[in-house]
Structure 1
Amino acid sequence: MKLDTSPIAAIATAPGRGGIGVVRASGKSLAPLLAVLFPDVTLSARRATYIPFKQADGSVIDQGIALYFKGPHSYTGEDVLELQGHGGPIVLQMLLARVLEAGAESGLRLAEPGEFTRRAYLNDKLDLAQAEAVADLIDASTEAAAKSATQSLSGAFSKTINTLVEQTTGLRMLVEATLDFPEEEIDFLEKSDARGQLAVIVASLERVFQQAAQGALLREGLNVVLVGQPNVGKSSLLNALAGADVAIVTPIAGTTRDKVSETIQIEGIPLNIIDTAGIRTIDDAVDVVERIGIERTWGEVAKADVILHLLDADQGPTRADDAIVAAFPAGVPVLRVWNKIDLSGHKPSVNPTEEATNIYLSAHEHVGMDLLRAELLRIAGWQQTGESLFLARERHLIALRSAHKHLALAGEHAAQNDQSLDLFAEELRLAQAQLSSITGQFSSDDLLGVIFSRFCIGK
């Protein structure tokens, strides 16, 4: 991929007010920019200099710290200049405008989203998985997600993938070398223990996939939608899960007219809990607002990862509840939550049946809530493995699944008594390509464009 070497600049801190704001510039050589911005001062590389930031007419924009990093010893691998001043948006916009003005003759332009990190990748400062971990660390919504993102940023995920690539490449080279000497093919599998080597690679890949899948769960979380008739306790359950009164609770049916969302953590897993309007037939809705609320409820159900169907344990199931169940989308896990056991006399319990898993609890009394949390983690597939997790993305999981498929096919060819070594080698090549795409050793320009366009400006 051809690297655009024109210098770039952007505000590198989040929008809004803050104590400190940073304007960052990067380019193959920033000497012309430094000469215009600081004509009377020579900045020493990797040393902080407290200095006034001035307009072209000499008026002071701000007083702050200038940090200069000489490439390749910088984040991007190029010359990098960071101007750290006060974090007011107007001040930062004025400072950025001055930097762009000072660098105009050298072709300095405003950076695109993710362009600093993209240059770090293209200049071999980060591989692709590490570059994605930068964005994941910024976006981490839980402590566990942040730790896993840091793990990936440090290169642990990449190192694991590279080991798999090396093992697959080594076996592939052995197979292809054997193809050049047909007389040796007969004893190849036995002498080289090719099947044993392949089994080791597959086992390692499955272990990595488990770690990556758990990490992806930390990154994405689950969308959990609370569904049920009016006044069955959906808002009370939301409050009990959130540990705070985030939804209004009254004995009046239909209190919740629109969705109420709250993100919580269970064992570090982010859960986006959505409380919806109570469901009854449109004909029974008392007004147009309630009708709209019911329609929006079904819209949220269609996007749910997990549905919590709340029922009144004191009253038991009704035909209306059966109608709600009949309308659930296929393939979405459903937990049938029997609320108000403080009134019905049931004990807190989990009762799995062929139709659904029934959970008996009292949201009002906070009894049985741990049972619900455990079931949510079970549905999420969360397991405390004791191993470090990688904050993987969906493309990583797709690549790992595809590599596993190709290795499985390689195993089938290996079992055919040396008659399919060429197909064995081809499946190993395809598996290697899938694994290499994770770290960017094998990638397309389109893939890079999609990944880095999702970064924030200045990163």
Structure 2
Amino acid sequence: MSHNDTIVAQATPPGRGGVGILRISGLKAREVAESVLGKLPKPRYADYLPFKDADGSTLDQGIALWFPGPNSFTGEDVLELQGHGGPVILDLLLKRILTIPGLRIARPGEFSERAFLNDKLDLAQAEAIADLIDASSEQAARSALNSLQGAFSARVNHLVEALTHLRIYVEAAIDFPDEEIDFLSDGKIEGLLNNVIADLDAVRAEARQGSLLREGMKVVIAGRPNAGKSSLLNALAGREAAIVTDIAGTTRDVLREHIHIDGMPLHIIDTAGLRDASDEVERIGIERAWQEIEQADRVLFMVDGTTTDAVDPADIWPDFIARLPTKLPITVVRNKADITGETLGLSEVNDHSLVRLSARTGEGVDVLRNHLKQSMGFETNMEGGFLARRRHLQALAEAAEHLQQGKAQLLGARAGELLAEELRLAQQNLSEITGEFTSDDLLGRIFSSFCIGK
């Protein structure tokens, strides 16, 4: 579809409401105003007017806002019509607007996409609009707003500027090899490069925090039947989310709960007890449990403390540990401490965390909550932080890898040309975050995930 078309969409959620808003952007927005309102409203003033049908009859009356381009959200002429929020009224008004030639319904995210294409927002800021709408906590909303206001982009642009300065210095060293001073070995380039690497590491750490706020942490509770998995889910959720009985195999499907620990989103998944099942329904539930385990950020290996004294997961259930994905973090949870009399708390056993608690009484559950937060490196105080997406983390990681490769070329063979190329690639990775260097296919995928009308 052409970006020269004039687009229209409902900017408020579907259904009944006190107010319903239609947004129009493009060259024909002026014509829509003159046709539906009978005049062009004063720019950036709220004008209370009747909304007219093609035959001159009144469809509704409400507030009209006129934002002539380029001083608008999209950079184009924008008209907003704020009427009554009944779906029938809004549908009639939308049909009326679409009778004007050259208008079409906007694609999801197309208003934000046009703002990006018209340099009103960079790509990270545009993504922050969707993140602000989807924020699941106050902290996530504040961080998304920081990103929308340019906090993340400013950090990235600072890195890009530093790389530009460094590339100029390296190119000068390559172009003037006969100078008395060997620029590649005098230590200045290495110092500048180390500064950029340190700054990038700091941004990556903040981005990981921002990604946790946005994406959350996926934690799967797994173990044998009757180990107390559903009781732990209920204890973490603070409500009876799962049925708890003494009958082995009560949980036959995946149960999900979304909670927050001091602002960190947590996706807790309770799974069917793992065993050799003869029942077909239970067998399917166990297979789904393994699918969730393979996609987890961390597994809580639930152990009935009354059945074994072992604390090393390899001793408790070697076949289970052998099937787990490589490098998947495990926390052993020895349950039923209220019966065994074990000392509550957190300890380390052969590179694995061990938490002793009672899911039934709730004793020790707070220790597990703090452990989950700390294991992901989550910091409660993120004033001035920003949200980040997986693509941002990937771009930052690739940029860091290119800088390390470039440093190796500098310190090893003093290969200025290879260092310059690694710096260029790192700069390209960073520019993908703000959209200075981004493929059309990626743009399509990003904006298609937005709400219609945004």
The TM-score, its normalising length taken from structure 2, stands at 0.92
Alpha-carbon distance between aligned partners in 2 of 1:82 and 1:242, rounded to the nearest angstrom: 42
1:421 deviates by 1.9
1:307 equivalent in structure 2: 299
> Paired residue for 1:381?
377
Q: Which amino acid aligns with 2:308?
A: G
What corresponds to 1:113 in structure 2? 108
For the residues of structure 2 that align with 1:177 and 1:79, how far apart are their CA atoms? Answer: 46
The residue type paired with residue 426 of structure 1 is: E
Is 1:97 aligned with 2:95?
yes
CA offsets 1:374-424 (integer angstroms, 9 cap, x no match): 22123323245756322111221121112112222222233257x422222
State how far apart, in whole Å, the 1-side matches of 2:134 and 2:26 are. 27
2:145 is the counterpart of 1:147: no
- Give the Cα–Cα distance (whole angstroms) in 1 for the partners of residues 324 and 417 of structure 2: 49
Does the CA contact (< 8 Å) of 1:219 and 1:391 recur in 2? yes
Gaps of 5+ in 1: none
Q: Displacement, 1:125?
A: 0.4
> Is 1:48 aligned with 2:46?
yes
Q: Which moved more, 1:264-273 or 1:175-184?
A: 175-184
Q: 2:133 aligns with which of 133, 138, 145?
A: 138
Q: In the alignment, what sits opposite 2:18?
A: 19
- Are residue 334 (structure 1) and residue 330 (structure 2) matched? yes
With over 3 angstroms needed to count, the CA separation of the structure-2 counterparts of 1:76 and 1:321, relative to structure 1, is same
Contact 1:52 1:60 in 2 (8 A): yes
2:446 is the counterpart of 1:447: no
Does the 8 Å CA contact 2:262/2:380 hold for their aligned counterparts?
A: no
Give the letter aligned to residue 342 of structure 2: H
Secondary structure of the 2:41 match is: coil
User: Mean Cα displacement is larger for which, 204-213 or 173-182?
Assistant: 173-182
Matching residue of 1:292: 284
- Mapped contact 1:21–1:85 kept (Cα < 8 A): yes
CA drift at 1:228: 2.2
Distance 1:203 1:385 in 2: 22
CA–CA distance in structure 2, aligned partners of residues 58 and 127 of structure 1: 42
The CA deviation at 1:273 is: 0.9
Match of 1:173 among 168, 172, 179: 168
Shift of residue 230 of structure 1?
Answer: 2.5
Give the Cα separation in 2 of the matches to 1:14 and 1:344: 53
Equivalent of 1:436 in 425, 431, 448: 431
Q: Cα gap change, 1:427/1:290 in structure 2, threshold over 3 Å: closer, same or farther?
A: closer
Q: Aligned to 1:96, what secondary structure does the other structure show?
A: helix
Q: For each residue in 1:309-337, what CA deviation from the matched residue of structure 2 results, as whole angstroms up to 9, or x when unmatched?
A: 21111232699955444443333222111
TM-score (normalizing by structure 1)? 0.91
* 1:23-48: CA deviation from partner (whole Å, max 9, x where unpaired): 11100352211121112x43111111
Q: Please say if residues 311 and 321 of structure 1, whose CA atoms lie closer than 8 Å, have aligned partners that are also in contact.
A: no
3-state secondary structure, aligned to 2:72? coil
TM-superposed deviation, 1:194: 1.7
* Residue 258 of structure 2 is aligned to residue 263 of structure 1: yes
- The letter of the residue matching 1:26 is S
Does 1:73 find its partner at 2:68?
no
Q: CA RMSD for the aligned pairs?
A: 2.3
The SS at the match of 1:389 is coil
Partner Cα separation in structure 1 for residue 58 and residue 223 of structure 2: 62
CA distance in 2, matches of 1:262, 1:185: 67
Residue in 2 that maps onto 1:415: 411
Relative to structure 2, which stretch is displaced further, 300-309 or 120-129? 300-309
Judge conservation of contact 1:259–1:277 (CA < 8 Å) in 2.
yes
Identical counterparts, % of pairs: 53
Alignment-mate amino acid for residue 27 of structure 1? G
Return the alpha-carbon distance in structure 2 between the equivalents of residues 348 and 388 of structure 1. 36
Residue deviations 1:209-228, cap 9 Å, x none? Answer: 11111111111112211122
Tell me the distance in 1 between the aligned counterparts of 2:31 and 2:324.
64
Cα distance in 2 for partners of 1:222, 1:139 equals 16
Q: Distance between the aligned counterparts of 2:31 and 2:168, measured in 1?
A: 50
**Is 1:242 aligned to 2:241, yes or no?**
no
Aligned to 1:35: 34
Report which stretch shifted further, 435-444 or 321-330: 321-330
Pick closer, same or farther for the CA change 1:364–1:60 going to 2, 3 Å.
farther
> 1:380-399 alignment to 2 at 5 Å?
380-383=376-379, 388-399=384-395
Distance of aligned partners of 1:354 and 1:414 in 2 relative to their CA distance in 1, 3 Å threshold: same
Partner residue in 2 for 1:183: 178
Conserved? CA contact 2:17–2:85, under 8 Å: yes
Asked if the contact 1:333/1:379 (under 8 Å) is kept, the reply is no
- Between the aligned partners of 2:30 and 2:371, the Cα distance in structure 1 is 60
Deviations 1:239-261 (A, max 9, x none): 11111222222333333232221
Q: CA deviation at 1:355?
A: 6.1
| Residues 1:212 and 2:211 aligned together | no
Separation of aligned partners in 2, 1:351 and 1:260: 28
Partner in structure 2 of residue 7 of structure 1: 6
Contact 1:228 1:321 in 2 (8 A): no
Q: Is the 8 A contact 1:111 1:458 kept in 2?
A: yes
Structure 1 residue 192, shift from structure 2 partner:
7.8
Separation (CA, whole Å) in 1 of partners of 2:185 and 2:317: 62
**Matched ranges for 1:226-237 at <5 A:** 226-237=221-232
Indicate the residue corresponding to 1:163 in structure 2: 158
* TM-aligned CA deviation for residue 190 of structure 1: 6.1
CA contact 2:30–2:40 (8 Å) conserved in 1: no
| Amino acid in the other structure paired with 1:223 | K
CA contact 2:255–2:271 (8 Å) conserved in 1: yes
